[in-house]
A and B are shown apart, each in its own frame.
Chain A
């Protein structure tokens, strides 16, 4: 008897004429070929002999064993085409490996395109405007509502398990993904909180016994370190595109609400606001932050920390991985601490959005991928976030993430996960106004205004006025250069 080889083939027939008008009804047709050596025989009813009966019976038993797995993966893979996904260039190999892992489980193939993070907004808007079809894509949270309004992204309400996904999230994080009208506009790609990365040894050598937490404490500590010979102790990513994040971080650190529940800019009403900008300007003008803070990228700043050329670096918590993994002479001395004292820090998160998909099967497949990428896999594990934790220390806005044993193992031991979880839960804010449809116009202006402040071209008072005007103009859809 030659080798028994069962070949299963599946065909999906949609809307087969005369059978169904519903495109979502899936008809299965199995054909089975049994090879005996070089002879291929088909089953011919009425001509069954003992040999063929035994062969058929064996094949049927094999089919029964495989059928449940086949059915489930077939149900998942109802969409027979290829999904398209766009992301930016943070760990592109990890992205591709995660996606191919998903496809390998019987899911549709995904065509993944990666483009640079710098200029990503401009690039994706140009592509979508030009008619490019994307099933899902990374996006900045502040662009997410605009993309829904322009018809570039779909709302996710009513999709299977979407309410469970939201229920699993920190309450503080939900406002990033659900707008005031209750529309679910995105799922998480990753989340982070702004923290202070500091060189513990430098602080100890300088006689600084407490890790600074408030803006004043940071200023005083930086001055002391500068007097001790460290030229520019404080690093931050103050390129134009990122000034807006620091705006909220520093305002929240001082307990200032930037936008009220209706989205109106109210930071001008708080007398402490001008002091925040005075601090910011002082840090730059007095050289406590290097002049290159306006143009340096985080990679370079991580290197400066690792080399011991700075003592403080305020940015997302996961940059501790960058600094430590560089392995510079001071890398091992760098730790993280919360900022804001008894107030808050900024919780950021970039998002995944679903494109405008009309085909139901394609939409379901895209949603399956979104759940896998932005929540859990079908086994209930944080597979994707586990990988991001391992690769780069990224977090997810789910309490269960921080207590998951696999995730705890994935994070390097220099992370204080309970502390980060606590910051997510009660020590950080999302600033819901950041997802309002007019917010991107405001975001684009913040960099210009802050750079003018830092370069001494504007006073803190003028900065408050200019930011207020920019927010009002954006909210009233008034176009300005």
Chain B
């Protein structure tokens, strides 16, 4: 940082502002599309905004936040969101890593398999939700057929109407897509791993597990952090799949925070309360991502 500051200090003023001017269009777009709506959301969260949106309405300070934090519905939703996020992050990262390791090995048809990896990632979230809703259907769904053929279940089951199974099904649907994204990124990381490292370790008698733990994982650390941080953010912001599959039901079994926000903002038009929920969710997502970085990121220590 000190070296960079010294470097820029020696540049002519025109050159120093050149970078800023180059970035200005992108900054403007970010301000208009992100910063302004975010600031407005915070302002709305402190007002009793009428559904018509003709004005901000009466200023209520933190009353909307008090309402939220004192509501058992909110805390149940937080709990559901936390379980969803944990399952989403863990399974999409693990399955993505497994797919990347597999697709990094030579085998016949590897090219086709790698190409197919992109298919779930290319499918919009809402389509994923609709597909999985039909897949999990209790009368005609393929999931029931598969599980029955494998003798895992004896008869067809209404997964999405069962409060105990609806949330795991939504996690499964979202992991199915997100794991492919994780797999693509991790595969890219694996392909930069020098083969000599693995070969040398093998010659020294390192087992497959030793090579994975001491060579592959450390090499993939930066990519893993990126994948996990993105997964955490996607997990908290997930809406489309849950809405398409269950609309937050049955009961409130799958009512994650994003569904609660939708109901307050768009269905009930409680704009102030919905905005407060959105602010809370935004802060939680940000903190989640920062926590991951804090826990997993270690700057490179130069050799002495």
Name, among B162, B251, B263, B267, the residue most crowded by chain A CB atoms within 10 Å (CB to CB).
B251
Interface flag for B268 (CB, 8 Å): yes
Q: From B270, which residue of chain A is reached at the shortest CB distance?
A: A479
A291-B161, A295-B158 given. 17 additional CB < 8 A pairs?
A118-B247, A122-B266, A125-B266, A151-B52, A151-B54, A240-B248, A291-B162, A294-B161, A294-B250, A294-B251, A295-B250, A304-B139, A440-B268, A441-B268, A448-B251, A481-B260, A481-B273
Query: Contact: A292 with B158, CB < 8 Å?
Result: yes
Stretch touching chain A among B68-76, B80-88, B208-216: B68-76
Number of interface residues of A (CB under 8 A): 36
Query: Contact: A240 with B267, CB < 8 Å?
Result: no
Interface flag for B168 (CB, 8 Å): no
Chain A residues within 8 Å of B264, by CB:
481
A129 to B138 Cα, complex, angstroms: 39
Given the known inter-chain contacts A150-B51, A444-B268, please indicate yes or no for A239 contacting B249, CB distance below 8 A. Answer: yes
Interface flag for A152 (CB, 8 Å): yes
Choice from A118, A129, A479 contacting B67 with Cβ under 8 Å: A479
A292 to B68 Cα, complex, angstroms: 31
Query: Contact: B158 with A452, CB < 8 Å?
Result: no
Chain A residues within 8 Å of B163, by CB:
455
Interface flag for A204 (CB, 8 Å): no
Nearest chain B CB to A51's CB is how many angstroms away? 66
Q: From A125, which residue of chain B is reached at the shortest CB distance?
A: B269
Chain B residues within 8 Å of A125, by CB:
51, 266, 269
Choice from A151, A295, A440, A447 contacting B160 with Cβ under 8 Å: A295
A293 to B249 Cα, complex, angstroms: 12
Interface flag for A224 (CB, 8 Å): no
Chain A residues within 8 Å of B92, by CB:
none
Query: Contact: B52 with A152, CB < 8 Å?
Result: yes
Q: From B155, which residue of chain A is reached at the shortest CB distance?
A: A231
Interface flag for B124 (CB, 8 Å): no
A-B pair number, CB within 8 angstroms: 87
B interface with A by C-beta (< 8 Å): 50-54, 67-68, 71, 73-74, 138-139, 158, 160-163, 246-252, 260, 262-264, 266-270, 272-273
Interface flag for A358 (CB, 8 Å): no
Given the known inter-chain contacts A295-B160, A455-B163, please indicate yes or no for A150 contacting B50, CB distance below 8 A. Answer: yes
Residues A148-170 near B (CB distance < 8 A): 150-152
Interface flag for A255 (CB, 8 Å): no
Chain B residues within 8 Å of A457, by CB:
251
Q: Convert A296-311 into 0s and 1s, putting 1 for each residue whose CB lies closer than 8 angstroms to a CB of B.
A: 0000100010000000
Q: List 15 A-B contacts (CB under 8 A).
A: A118-B247, A121-B267, A125-B266, A129-B52, A150-B52, A152-B52, A291-B138, A292-B158, A294-B161, A295-B161, A295-B246, A451-B250, A452-B251, A479-B273, A481-B73
Interface flag for A426 (CB, 8 Å): no
Query: Contact: A291 with B68, CB < 8 Å?
Result: no
Chain B residues within 8 Å of A481, by CB:
67-68, 71, 73-74, 260, 264, 273
A6 to B158 Cα, complex, angstroms: 69
Q: Which 3 A-B pairs have the closest CB atoms?
A: A122-B266, A481-B73, A150-B52
Nearest chain B CB to A460's CB is how many angstroms away? 16
Interface flag for A210 (CB, 8 Å): no
Q: From B54, which residue of chain A is reached at the shortest CB distance?
A: A151
Residues A115-133 near B (CB distance < 8 A): 118-119, 121-123, 125-126, 128-130
Residues A99-138 near B (CB distance < 8 A): 118-119, 121-123, 125-126, 128-130
A467 to B261 Cα, complex, angstroms: 22
A125 to B248 Cα, complex, angstroms: 20
A444 to B248 Cα, complex, angstroms: 13
A128 to B53 Cα, complex, angstroms: 9
Nearest chain A CB to B255's CB is how many angstroms away? 9
Chain A residues within 8 Å of B71, by CB:
480-481
Query: Contact: A300 with B139, CB < 8 Å?
Result: yes
Chain A residues within 8 Å of B247, by CB:
118, 239-240
A452 to B251 Cα, complex, angstroms: 6
Interface flag for A290 (CB, 8 Å): yes
Query: Contact: A455 with B251, CB < 8 Å?
Result: yes
Choice from A123, A291, A292, A444 contacting B263 with Cβ under 8 Å: A444
Query: Contact: B267 with A122, CB < 8 Å?
Result: yes
